[in-house]
Amino acid sequence: SAVISQKPSRDICQRGTSLTIQCQVDSQVTMMFWYRQQPGQSLTLIATANQGSEATYESGFVIDKFPISRPNLTFSTLTVSNMSPEDSSIYLCSVATGITTTSNQPQHFGDGTRLSIL
């Protein structure tokens, strides 16, 4: 299974600023995902990031607010831009280790970034 390091683990930010979250994987993976999780609640997919292509955003999420980079097969970043208190949440990086989109392999998750906006 993949080991995922996510940084920072938590942060407190001022309204209107931006924060970039880093996700480093110990092996090459095709698909990386970024999720948002309100405390004690389920996961909401923000976008899918495949190396060599633009990220695919889910309904309700836009690139201007959540720009994503995927420079290689082991690294990705998610930026939360122009933050407001509504952006306070847990942000999770996840990877799928299968080489195809139809793989039956489970996803693996980082420990998340706990973000509070004042």
Residue numbers at the binding site for another protein (CB under 8 A): 1, 4, 6, 31, 40-43, 45, 48, 92, 94, 101-102, 104, 106-112, 114
Residue closer to another protein, measured from CB, 2 or 83: 2
CB of 80 to another protein, least distance (A): 18
Torsion of CA 34, 76, 78, 92, to 10 degrees: 40
CB of 102 to another protein, least distance (A): 5
Beta strands in the chain (DSSP E): 4-7, 10-13, 19-25, 31-37, 43-50, 56-57, 68-72, 75-80, 89-96, 107-109, 113-117
Diameter of the chain measured on Cα atoms = 41
CB of 111 to another protein, least distance (A): 5
Residues for the chain: how many in total? 118
Residue closer to another protein, measured from CB, 37 or 81: 37
Residue closer to another protein, measured from CB, 1 or 17: 1
